Amino acid sequence: MGVINATPDSFSGDGLGSEDDPVRTAVRVGKQFVADGAHLLDVGGESARPGAEPVAAEQELRRVTPVIEALADAVDVPISVDTSKAAVAQSALDAGASIVNDVWGLKRDSQLATVVAEHGAALILMHNRSRSEETSANERLGARYVGSEYDVLLGDIRRELEESIALAHAADIPDEKIILDPGIGFGKTVEQNRRLLNELGTFKELGYPLLIGPSRKSFIGYTLDLPLEDRLEGTAAAVAVGITRGADMVRVHDVRAMARVARMTDALVRGAA
């Protein structure tokens, strides 16, 4: 999954919101991602970085809808919209998206599940305990979560993912349309993120495909003491380990390099590249 950030303030430094022509740039980037090995593209219009300010639905709509509409005409892979708002999902699905990637697992907008069900779209349910008051910022390494408390880390995440699954079922979204994301980087400390990635296999027991998004995240930066622009190798290690632990999809910024990492890891652990 190649990330296309239609925002001016993405943590990863690749937001298109400050471009003179973000739609044209998104199409160019999307085509390159597909050529580099992306199987699908994920378009987002609201930064989810620690401490980011929320974006109104109208502004998010203006950012993502024209990008998705243009990409749908330009590439031959599925497009997902990274949003937690029903209105944004409605517009994005009408524009050509076929997947909704909800970083709040249906717990922010009660109408989102209905929109997904009515469109027959696929749904990514992510675990998230992000709270702005639990963040700490470092000028060189960026923001991270420092005060996240769990009774039992993996058990709590699993239980809260099951709550999201129940919300999807209540809207008649079938199991075959559901993908789970344990939420690496969202409301978890550096150490918790490393443990979550290493013990990812526990979530395979739930019976759904797993998506992970470790790309360029602060837990890599703080582990290696490296700024954002130097996290390619750390991301590669996280992607490879995640696949060995059961990840079926990886959400990345550096598509060309990570597609190669994924293919090689698949060849080693699953017998097919």
Strands, E assignment, 61-195: 79-82, 99-102, 122-126, 135-138, 142-145, 178-181
DSSP state of 244: H
Length of the chain: 273
Please report which residue ranges of 104-189 form alpha helices under DSSP H. 112-119, 153-170
Please name the residue ranges forming H helices in 143-189: 153-170
Catalytic residue among 85, 194, 231, 251: 251
Helix/strand/coil percentages in the chain, nearest 5: 45, 15, 40
**If you ran DSSP here, which 8-state letter would residue 179 be given?**
E
Q: How do 122-126 and 99-102 pair as beta strands?
A: parallel
Contact yes or no for 115/89 (Cβ under 8 A): yes
Q: Which is the catalytic residue, given 216, 217, 231, 245? A: 217
The amino acid present at 96, given as its one-letter code, is: G
Q: Is 175 exposed, middle or buried (0-12, 13-18, 19+ CB in 10 A)?
A: exposed
Give the burial string for 92-130 (b: 16+ CB within 10 Å, else e).
bbebbbbbbbbbbbbbebeebbbbbbebebbbbbbbbbb
Whether 251 is catalytic is yes
Residues recognised as catalytic: 217, 251
